[in-house]
Each structure stands twice: as structure tokens, then as C-alpha cells.
Amino acid sequence: MAYYLGIDVGTSGTKSLLIDATGKVLAEAVAEYPMHQPKPGWTEQDPEDWWQATVATVRKVVRKAKAKPADVRAIGLSGQMHGSVFLDAKNKVVRPALLWNDQRTVAECDEITQRAGGRKALIKMVANPALTGFTAPKILWLRNNEPRKFDKVRKVLLPKDEIRRRLTGEFAGDMSDASGTLLLDVVKRQWSKKLLSKLELDPDLLPPVFESEQVTGQLTAAVAEELGLSTDCKVVAGAGDCAAGAIGNGVVERGVLSTSIGTSGVMFVHSDQPEYDAEGRLHTFCHAVHGQWHMMGVNLTSGGSLQWWIDNVVQGLAGIPKGKRYEAATAEAAEIAAGSGGLSFLPYLNGERTPHADPSARGAFVGLNLTHTRAHMTRAVMEGVVFAMRDSLEIIRSLNVPVDQIRVSGGGSKNPLWKQMQADIFGQNVVTLNAEQGPAYGVALLAAVGDGAYDSIGEACKATIQVKEQTKVDRKAASAMDALFPIYQDLYVALKDSFQKIASLQ
Ligand SMILES: Nc1ncnc2c1ncn2[C@@H]1O[C@H](COP(=O)(O)OP(=O)(O)O)[C@@H](O)[C@H]1O
Ligand SMILES: O=C(CO)[C@@H](O)[C@H](O)COP(=O)(O)O
């Protein structure tokens, strides 16, 4: 048997799954962990939690599928992007990792832009402007704020690459994930020596980078034994979770857009060459397909907003198993008409990235009246999240990038109401696929390609990914949403200055 393992080091948890060479999912498992917020706007995780979750989920899927060690031929790794794992000379972490949604690096973004010779010069070097979530500002933050710890750092790894190091003992990364460090020359697909030099960063801090299906090492003997696998098991470069999710959604050609509602919200389009939003609102990154790129818009607190709402506000869910709480809490929202009775929610609970790169943006309900209930508010949270995604879609459409089909994914898109809202708010039918596991599935396919089961990623996607069902636009709901969208857009503009003042008090 030839089996392939996909591991996705997500924000809410790590997911592992095992597929066979036809792409059939044999077993999957998830282990959750917390995201720490030591101060407003700061987000951190302990890389040891990722490792423990990796071991637990891999052992579980191997056991569930009754796989023999030699069956599992290759592993693909995916993970939350941009996070910084700082390792010392003995490969010990010097502090918890700063995550993709951490907002503490405003000063460092300015420093990078200035050292690069301005925003235009920076975009020329690495295709993107400096944003607080990216990795380079995190490295400078450590140098500026915790210099003793910085002096100990010998390697900086992205989350999935830290898991690779523990699996194989090798330092390596891939092009798609490396794009989100702000240190990769995205056009040439190599580290930007020019920017590293301007930032006075040692290039040796970074691992070598590979294309996504390339083999970067094999399991160490100790790890193979711990996981019930073989030392012949290869580990391919893999991809950042957005590109991995796009592979898992079969987004390997122009005209197809994939959305993901995870903790973050992502709107992802494939491009055959580097394409840019002149205003820098969309990211231009390498795709996990050789010689291909993508553009995407990212919202920081999408599924995260509903999670916050349910964990902190919605009462009466204590007796309901954790996995069923979202459905229970959103059932009452489905009873409310589209538009939530004119109530808007801005999902900027931890600042925002696309289209408002603004760490000071904050969440808000606007338009409350005495007739509104908790159900209206739950619905408004869900609608606000999709309005934020429509902001990215409007930019993509304005750049004349074709969007012939929208494929929805992520934990949030499993919810039928959120799926319908995406069709209604985007004003375009959306489809779901047979493979619903997104990033973990995408990197399992990359592992299959790396092992030679398929000649190319495109071929692997064509053979394994099919449209399962279509959710059609409800015209009445869509026109209610169209009426609310410009109001939603105006609210950020109206509240921007107040958000600044509020953030300074927090
Ligand atoms: N049944 C559900 N209904 C609505 N939302 C859900 C449901 N299950 C998960 N979610 C949403 O999905 C998010 C997690 O998605 P996932 O893709 O697993 O995230 P991540 O990659 O960030 O770990 C949660 O924050 C939650 O908002
Ligand atoms: O910042 C980004 C992409 O630029 C996020 O998409 C992270 O990669 C985390 O994703 P989830 O854990 O929410 O899926």
C-alpha cells in the first residue's frame, strides 16, 4: 500500500490525515491547543504544543487506518503562516512563537520600510509591503525589544518548518510559506539578499527553501519509532496553510477562487505570473505549484470572531459537546432574515489586515435597537465576517482577475448558514468539494506527488478533487446584503479615528 500523510499546524489545532494514492481519506484526527494573548494585540503559541498535537494526531491516524510503517511513504507539512520560531544554537526555543495575527510590530514595519528605501522599493524586492503579521518585523521586534534573547537566536523557522525539524532533524522551508516572511524575493523564488543586508540580518538565520513537492528529508529513527512509521518515510517541503488549502481545493488554474473561514478569513486566487494590487492590499505570494503565484486577501478574525462570540457571550451551551456548539449557537441565527435587522458587525477584534492594514481597528456592533436579540447578533457576527471577505473579493474583481468559480472551505464553511451567506454576500454561487480537509489534504497530495504517485500537482488535483455540491445565490437575501454592504464599508472609515483612540487606551 502507498499512503500519504498530511499534517496542518493550524491556529486552533493540528490536523493530520492519511490518504491512499487515489486521494481517498483513510483517517483523520485533530488535537487543539490554546492561543495566548499576553497583551491586547499580542498572540503567541508554544511550539511544543504543536509538536505534542502532531505526535498525538499522527499516532491516531496511523492506528485508525491500521497502516503498517512501510505503508506511509511520504508526509506533507502545512501550517499557519508568518509565525516566528526562534531557535538557539541547541535548537531550543528562546521564547514563545509570535503568530500571524500578532500586532506588536508597528514600529518595526516602519523601520523595514525605511531601511528598504521606501514602500515602492520594498515591494520591488519582496513583492509586498511590510505588515505587522509578517515574520521579518517579528525578528526585528525581538532584536529591538528582547536583545539578549535575539543574540541567542541561530535560526528562525515558520511553524510547519519547526515540525519538520523535529521530524527529520533538517532545516528547510517552501516558497509559499517563505513568501509570508517578507524576506523572499517572490519573483525570483529565493531569499532576498538585498533586503536581508539592508535589515542587517544574517542570511544563515533562514533555512534553505524548496518547491512544495520536493523532498527535504526523512524521519529520524527516534521519531519513526514514536510515530509508528518508517525511517524511509520522506517529508516534502509542503506549503503555508493558504497555498496548501488552495491545493486541497484544487485551485491550480486561473479563474478559480477559494475562500477559507478558519480562525482567519482568506480569499485566494491563482496567477500564472506575479500580479499586484498597486495599493498593496492583497498579498502577492508564490503558489505551491512550481513557477506559479497567487494573490490573496486575509482577514485576521473571521472564524475567530464567532469563536470569541460563542466562548464569551453565548450562554447555555455548557451541556452541548464542544464539536456541536457552533451548530447549536448558529441555529437561532438561521431563523433571522438576511441583514440581521439592519445590524452590522465589524470583525476587527484584533486589528485587521485586508483591506485595512490597521492594528488599531477594533470590533463593533452598529445599529442595535430594542428589537434585536442574541440571534440577530450571532447572525450579524457571521455576516460581518463575510462582508470583510467581500472587501477582498471586490479588490480582486477590480483588478480584472477572473472569478469563474468560488470554492468555499475551512471550519466555518462546514456550517450551511455560513455557506449560504457566502453565496448571497459574494453575489455568486459557491461550491464545496469532495475533499473538505483543506490544507492537510493539499499537503498529503503534495507528498503523493513528491513520492511519484502523480507527475504534477495539477494532475493530482484533477484525479482527486471534484465539486460535491453547489450553493445557489438567494436573490432576496443577496439584495438585502447588497444594501448593507456599503454601510458596512462606511463604518470603518467613520470609526477609524475613534478606533485609534480606543486602542491607545487598551
Ligand atoms: N460547525 C461550525 N459552524 C460554524 N463555524 C464553525 C464550525 N466549526 C468550526 N467553525 C469555525 O471554524 C473555525 C476553525 O476553523 P479551522 O479551519 O479548523 O481553523 P484553523 O485553521 O484556524 O485552525 C472556528 O474558529 C469556527 O469559527
Ligand atoms: O495569516 C495568514 C495568511 O496570510 C493566516 O491564514 C494564517 O496562515 C493562519 O490561518 P488559520 O489558522 O486561520 O487557517
pLDDT 10s digits, 106-125? 999 999 999 999 999 999 99
pLDDT tens per residue across span 318-336 = 788 777 889 988 999 999 9
Would the CB of 50 count as within 6 Å of ligand 1?
no
Known catalytic residue at 241: yes
Give residue 321's domain range.
303-399+474-505
Look at residue 161 and give its three-state secondary structure.
helix
Residue of 80, 345, 415, 418 to mutate, ligand 1, most atoms within 8 A of C-beta:
415
**The pLDDT of residue 50 is above 90:** yes
DSSP structural state of residue 99: P
Residue of 17, 414, 441 to mutate, ligand 1, most atoms within 8 A of C-beta:
414
Work out the percent of the chain whose per-residue pLDDT is above 90: 94
Write out residues with Cβ below 6 Å of ligand 2: 10-11, 80-82, 100, 133, 180, 241-242, 262-264, 266, 298
Average pLDDT over residues 342-360: 96
384 and 444 both lie in a single domain: no
63 occurs within a structural domain? yes
State how far the alpha carbon of 384 is from the alpha carbons of 112, 303, 320, 393, in Å.
32, 11, 26, 14
pLDDT tens per residue across span 61-96 = 999 999 999 999 999 999 999 999 999 999 999 999
138 occurs within a structural domain? yes
Average pLDDT over residues 389-414: 95
| Amino acid at site 226 | E
* Contact present, 293 and 189 (Cβ < 8 Å): no
User: Containing H/E element for 224?
Assistant: helix 221-227
Average pLDDT over residues 25-52: 96
How far, in Å, is the centroid of ligand 2 from the Cα of 69? 32
Ligand 2 atom closest to residue 245's alpha carbon, by position in its atom list? 14
How far, in Å, is the centroid of ligand 2 from the Cα of 440? 13
Residues 274, 326: Cα–Cα separation, whole Å: 38
Q: List the single range of 197-201, 224-228, 273-277 with lowest mean pLDDT.
A: 273-277
* Contact present, 58 and 5 (Cβ < 8 Å): yes
208 and 345 both lie in a single domain: no
Q: State residue 483's pLDDT score.
A: 96
How far, in Å, is the centroid of ligand 2 from the Cα of 10? 8
Q: State residue 325's pLDDT score.
A: 86
313 and 206 both lie in a single domain: no
Ligand 1 atom closest to residue 80's alpha carbon, by position in its atom list? 21
Q: State residue 239's pLDDT score.
A: 98
- 250 pLDDT band, cuts 50/70/90, is very high
Would the CB of 78 count as within 6 Å of ligand 1?
no
229 and 324 both lie in a single domain: no
Q: What angle do CA 105, 204, 137 make, to 5 degrees?
A: 5
Tally of domains in the chain: 2
Count Cβ atoms below 10 Å from residue 415 Cβ, excluding itself. Answer: 20
Q: What angle do CA 501, 297, 435 make, to 5 degrees?
A: 130
* Contact present, 323 and 310 (Cβ < 8 Å): no
240 and 351 both lie in a single domain: no
Counting ligands in written order, which one lies closest to the CA of residue 83? 2
373 occurs within a structural domain? yes
Q: State residue 437's pLDDT score.
A: 82
Q: State residue 1's pLDDT score.
A: 81
How far, in Å, is the centroid of ligand 1 from the Cα of 436? 12
308 and 393 both lie in a single domain: yes
Q: State residue 321's pLDDT score.
A: 79
Residues 172, 164: Cα–Cα separation, whole Å: 8
Name the residue at shortest CA distance from atom 10 of ligand 2: 80
Q: State residue 151's pLDDT score.
A: 98
What is the CATH number for 229? 3.30.420.40
Phi, psi of 41 (to 5 degrees): 85, -10
274 occurs within a structural domain? no
287 occurs within a structural domain? no
Average pLDDT over residues 303-307: 95
Would the CB of 363 count as within 6 Å of ligand 1?
no
375 and 456 both lie in a single domain: no
How far, in Å, is the centroid of ligand 1 from the Cα of 28? 16
H-type alpha helices, 130-206: 135-145, 147-152, 159-168, 175-179, 193-198
**The pLDDT of residue 238 is above 90:** yes
pLDDT tens per residue across span 449-465 = 999 999 999 999 999 99
Ligand 1 atom closest to residue 8's alpha carbon, by position in its atom list? 21
**The pLDDT of residue 251 is above 90:** yes
387 and 453 both lie in a single domain: no
Q: State residue 317's pLDDT score.
A: 76
**Residues of the binding site:** 81-82
Q: State residue 318's pLDDT score.
A: 74
Counting ligands in written order, which one lies closest to the CA of residue 418? 1
147 and 175 both lie in a single domain: yes
Residues 137, 130: Cα–Cα separation, whole Å: 8
Among 63, 2, 126, 18, which residue's Cα sits nearest to residue 441?
Answer: 18
282 occurs within a structural domain? no
ipTM over the 0.90 cut-off: yes
- Mean pLDDT (the chain) is 96
Residues 417, 225: Cα–Cα separation, whole Å: 44
456 and 499 both lie in a single domain: no
pLDDT tens per residue across span 151-179 = 999 999 999 999 999 999 999 999 999 99
393 and 456 both lie in a single domain: no
260 occurs within a structural domain? no
Work out the percent of the chain whose per-residue pLDDT is above 70: 100
pLDDT tens per residue across span 434-452 = 988 889 999 999 999 999 9
256 occurs within a structural domain? no
Counting ligands in written order, which one lies closest to the CA of residue 306? 1
* Contact present, 103 and 41 (Cβ < 8 Å): yes
366 and 221 both lie in a single domain: no
Phi, psi of 173 (to 5 degrees): -140, 180
Name the residue at shortest CA distance from atom 14 of ligand 2: 262
